[in-house]
Each structure stands twice: as C-alpha cells, then as structure tokens.
A and B are shown apart, each in its own frame.
Chain A
Amino acid sequence: MKQLFYLLFFTISGLAASAQNPSFSPSSFTAEDEVTITIDVTGTGMAGVADAYLWIFSNPDLGGGADGVTNGSWTNSSDAAKLTPAGPNKFTYKFTGTTMFLQTPAQLKSFGFLLKKKDGSAQTSDYKPYFFDPLIFVPSMLRVFPSKVDVDDVVTVNFDNRYAVATNDQRMTPATFTVTMFDDLSNSVGSPVTLPVSKTDLTIWSGSFIPNASFTPAAGRKLFKFRYKINGTVLDLNGSPMTVSTAETEVTFTTMK
C-alpha cells in the first residue's frame, strides 16, 4: 500500500513538474509586448547544466522567418542569449518579438526556440510554434468573443461560413458546438459539453457558455484551456441530412483580476 502511495505521489509530482512547459508571462502577447519564457529542462539533453543559452527563430514552418539577434553562432552563443537560472533545471528569458527578430509586427506570426550549451554540445529539442497575438484583425471561420477570456467570463464561440474553406464547412448548417476542457496538467476536465448555436448574422452562428459553470476541475487543479468545434448537417447524395463537424480550435485562458 505504501509503495502504491509513493508511486502515485511521484507520478503526480512528475506530471505537475511537466505542466505547461514552457510557460509564458503574460500568457498572451503581441510582437510588441515584452514576454518572459520560463522553461524546465528536466528530462532533456540540457538537464543538470548550469548555464543555458537561447537559440530562437521566428515563423517556424511558415516562411519569412529570421534568427534571433541574440543567437550568435551555433558553436559560440552570444552572452546576450544566456538565460537566467530560476531553480534546478529551470531558466527564464525575457524578450520582445520585434526587437529580437528585427521584423515588423505584420511579419511576425510565431516563434520557436531551443536551449543549448554555449558551444552547442548539448541542446533541447525545438519548442514551437508559439503565436504572437495579432495587431491587426484577422477574420477567421472560428472566433471567440471576447478575444481573451478567463474561466468566469461569458464565452461566445462564433462560426462565420464566409471564411470556410473545406466543403463540408461551407455547406454546413450549424446546430451545436462542442467544448472540451483541459486543466493545467492538460488532462481533460469532465466530459465534452455540447450546446446549441443560433444564427446571429447573415453568415454567422453563435453559441455561449461560462467555463466554470460548465466544468469543474479536480481538486488543486484549474481550468487552463479548451477546444471547441461547430457541429451541423449537410445533405448527402440522397438529400438526407448528414452530421459533420469543423476541425477543433484551442483557446487558452488569460488570468484576469
């Protein structure tokens, strides 16, 4: 029994240690905002090192990317890339997108990074992609209102078929939306909830929910993010209705006071 207790304890502790790694403060930021990355390198090739250096790059896998100005060369990172130790296997680094990559907010969509030794003899794998908040409005098929939400806000999910590109999404008559909730350990919270949507504009269907009224996290945990999709019907070849769903979109909560 005692062994089982210790096994459970260390399993849970391990999971807690791996929660949301890396983390960002603030949790959402534009390319013009200063952001602090906190990263735990436990279990990576950098575990146990005293000094870690950041190797950062913009727009991974999107094209139009640039290396961070602090990178230096792979075998000799610059001193400006050195992270600040923040406990065993933990490091932090503060930067602003536009000054780090010397790119405009319009050019900067996302970034990725890894941690390495100064001489490049050890490294973590890539952490990517992490998206900057847009400074211009980008219309999309799925959108939440407000754009940033906390767990006790009224969250309205919107489906705008003007921006649908998949055939089923373009043909779909929306009826419901489904929300899957996750806690800060990325465990799903309760069962997915499906609620109705209604037509609120010529091409827009909307549905609302309040996260902490629909989902209760386990003791000691908190609601961290959710995924949602819109469900509806299209007519098949025989003219019979067939149920279809959009792909899921993920939203991370912003802690507010």
Chain B
Amino acid sequence: MKYFNKTVITLLITTIILSACKPDSFKDLGIERDFLESLNGTWKLTKATQVDEDASKKGFPYQQLDITNLFPYTNFVFTLNVSGGAPTTFTAVPGTSPKIIKLPSGSWTVDDLKYPKNIYLKNGAATDTISLGGYPTGTSTTLKLSKEKKDAVTGKLLISYSYEFAKQ
C-alpha cells in the first residue's frame, strides 16, 4: 500500500510538471537587414593587411603584415552609391594611397542583391572585382573588403589583401 501511494504521487507530480510545459513563442527578429543599403555611402580606409596565403597554407611563419602605415593607405576614399535598392555608381579616390581599386569611377553590381559577396566594378571595358569581408550592419560599423591574387598559370591563391573602411 505504502509502495502504491509513492508511485501514484510520483506519477501525479510528473503529470503536473509536464502539463505545465508550453512551447515558447519565437521572439521578433526585428526588421530584416538590408545589406546592400548598408554599403551606400563614402568610406575611408582605416586598415590594410597583406596575407601570404601560400605561407599560411604551408604553416610557415610570417603569414601576414599590417601595411596600413607602410604607405599612405588611409588617404584612400571609396564611395558606393545605391538607389532604389540597386547599386548604381562608384568613385575610388586614392589620393597618395596605392590604388587598391584600379578604376577611378564607374558603375557597380553585386553577385547577390540580398546577400552580396562580390562587388563588380566597371568602367567601359575595364573591370575590377573586390569581395566583401563584412557588412557594416548591426554593431559593426566597419566595411570590410578583400582582394585575392592567384597565380596566373595554376590558379593557386598566393596573396590576399584585407581592407577596413570607416563611414564618412
């Protein structure tokens, strides 16, 4: 009898606890972020890093170098214009900085309007491509761009450059 009571009480408590469980409703994720719109504006270069991708792959020492102050990179100003949810024009003004983007101005497009990864720059027949390393959205206000350089014969990745920009 004693054993029976214990079992019944345990079952009752378990039933009460389980019946109290309810699925939580998902919290509101907020407004969907517009990554393309976040690129819109004038950006000034704040940091430049050079990576020896071949050395990184082989695990060699001396894999990367902060080159920001080796040359006047911080003079480089990059403007991306967005209109009606689509990329339109750009300007790249190096000043005394090395030309990290070869074209001075022109039009630009992206590989994906919602989640852009590559920025394609065009001026007449001349083109240049730069990759997005980070969107300036949420808590991040830094636009991160990167350029990869591959061996022209083998296609092996040899060097990459990472650039960080602050909005003006």
A residues with a Cβ closer than 8 A to B are 25-27, 33, 135-137, 143, 145-150, 153-154, 156, 208, 210, 213, 254-257
Q: Are B67 and A154 in contact (CB under 8 A)?
A: yes
Q: Are A208 and B67 in contact (CB under 8 A)?
A: yes
Q: Are A213 and B98 in contact (CB under 8 A)?
A: yes
B150 adjacent to chain A (CB < 8 Å): yes
Q: Are B50 and A154 in contact (CB under 8 A)?
A: yes
Q: Are A137 and B58 in contact (CB under 8 A)?
A: yes
Closest to A135 in B: B58
Closest to B50 in A: A154
Closest to A150 in B: B149
A22 to chain B, nearest CB (A): 15
Residues of B within 8 A of A136 (CB): 58
Q: Are A255 and B152 in contact (CB under 8 A)?
A: yes
Query: For chain A, what secondary structure do more than half of its interface residues adopt (helix, strand, loop), or is it mixed?
Result: loop
Q: With A154-B67, A154-B70 given, is the CB distance from A25 to B153 under 8 Å? A: yes
Residues of A within 8 A of B65 (CB): 145, 154, 156
Q: Are A148 and B152 in contact (CB under 8 A)?
A: no
Residues of A within 8 A of B51 (CB): 146
User: Once the chains are docked, how many angstroms separate the CA of A23 from the CA of B88?
Assistant: 44
Contact partner of A208 (CB less than 8 A), chosen from B52, B70, B153, is B70
Residues of A within 8 A of B67 (CB): 154, 208
Q: Are B70 and A256 in contact (CB under 8 A)?
A: no
A50 to chain B, nearest CB (A): 28
B26 adjacent to chain A (CB < 8 Å): no
B4 adjacent to chain A (CB < 8 Å): no
Closest to A156 in B: B65
